[in-house]
A = this chain, B = another copy of it.
Amino acid sequence: MLAAGKSPKRRATRLRDSERTRERLLQAASREIYRSGFQSASLDTILAVAGVTKGALYYHFDSKEALGYAVVEEVIAPDVRGKWVRPLQSGKDPINALIGAVQGIPVRPADVRGGCQLNNLAQEMSPLDAGFRKRLAIIFQAWREAVASVLREGQTLGSVRRDLQPADAAGLLIAMVEGYGSLAKNAQDPKVMKAGIRNIVDWLRSLRPPGNRKRV
């Protein structure tokens, strides 16, 4: 029916322009949601930041809600995957991989003051909107599963204590990360986050088997 590759150059150019507009909207929305929350993020402000008009927005998205969902799926989810899922699948020593991920948490003032995108949105919208909650829960689930998975792997390799439930420990790690993120955001102070990271790393080290404290 459809001849593939028919006049592909021009069409490709047009499509790329359109998708760049969409991408700019996503980035601007992400930034504004990060700054003031989803409900308080104004569409007009998002449009001004993105440098596009309302017509373009409503051509690409059905509603503010749909724009928000797209931010979750196309900005936040890949970010978490890049920082917490893929790095843990790199075959390194599990505990070291986890320590690396924790130490990779950004601690610049701007990051600390703004908090965690995922947590921010979940805190605000999970009780209010099932669409957000479902999409955000998927991300949390993937995060937790990635941590639990690498801990299980470590248990079979002998570099992680066997007397611990990987799923429980993964939940605790995430709770610590988000909890310290909250404290640091409230204090508006990177030192709080840095101290938290040290505590989490200490805890991670305690997950090694007793006779195996120094494995690279």
CB pair B127–A115 under 8 Å, yes or no, is yes
Report the minimal beta-carbon distance from A122 to chain B, rounded to whole angstroms. 4
B residues in contact with A35, CB < 8 Å: 127
A166 interface hit (Cβ, 8 Å) = no
CB pair A123–B120 under 8 Å, yes or no, is yes
B residues in contact with A70, CB < 8 Å: none
A84 interface hit (Cβ, 8 Å) = no
CB pair B36–A188 under 8 Å, yes or no, is no
- Out of B37, B183, B188, name the residue touching A37 (CB < 8 Å): B37
Residues in A142-201 with C-beta less than 8 Å from chain B:
168, 171-172, 174-180, 182-183, 185-188, 192, 195-196, 199
- Out of B40, B120, B171, name the residue touching A40 (CB < 8 Å): B40
By DSSP majority rule, is chain A's interface helix, strand, loop, or mixed? helix
A4 interface hit (Cβ, 8 Å) = no
B residues in contact with A176, CB < 8 Å: 172, 175-176, 179
B residues in contact with A185, CB < 8 Å: 122-123, 126-127
B residues in contact with A171, CB < 8 Å: 180, 183, 192, 195-196, 199
Known contacts A179-B176, A182-B178: does B113 contact A127 (CB below 8 Å)?
yes
Residues in A111-133 with C-beta less than 8 Å from chain B:
113-115, 119-120, 122-124, 126-128, 133
| 21 residue pairs A–B, Cβ–Cβ below 8 Å | A35-B127, A39-B40, A113-B127, A120-B123, A122-B185, A123-B123, A123-B185, A124-B124, A126-B185, A127-B188, A133-B188, A140-B186, A168-B195, A171-B192, A171-B199, A172-B199, A175-B180, A175-B183, A176-B179, A179-B180, A182-B182
